[in-house]
Amino acid sequence: MRIQDIPFVMLKCLILTIIIETLIALIIGYRKKDILNVILVNAITNPLVTGLPVFFNVFYSVKTRNIALIILEVFTLLFEGIIYKKYLKEKKLNSFVLSLILNVSSYGLGLIINGI
Contact status, residue 34 vs residue 88, Cβ threshold 8 Å: yes
Short-list 4, 2, 28, CA closest to 98 = 28
Burial class (CB in 10 A: 0-12, 13-18, 19+), 16: middle
Task: Tally the domains of the chain.
Answer: 1
Provide the pLDDT for residue 5: 80
Query: How many angstroms separate the first and last alpha carbons of the chain?
Result: 15
- C-alpha distances (whole Å) from 89 to each of 9, 37, 76, 96, 104 are 33, 10, 20, 15, 22
Give the containing element (helix H, strand E) for 89. Answer: none
Provide the pLDDT for residue 51: 86
Provide the pLDDT for residue 116: 62
pTM of the complete model: 0.89
pLDDT in 10s for each residue of the chain, 116 residues: 677 888 898 999 999 999 999 999 999 999 989 999 999 999 999 999 988 887 787 788 888 888 988 999 999 999 999 999 999 998 889 999 999 999 999 999 988 988 76
Please, which residues have CB within 8 angstroms of residue 37's CB and are 6 or more apart in sequence?
A: 83, 84, 87, 88
Residue 95 domain boundaries: 3-113
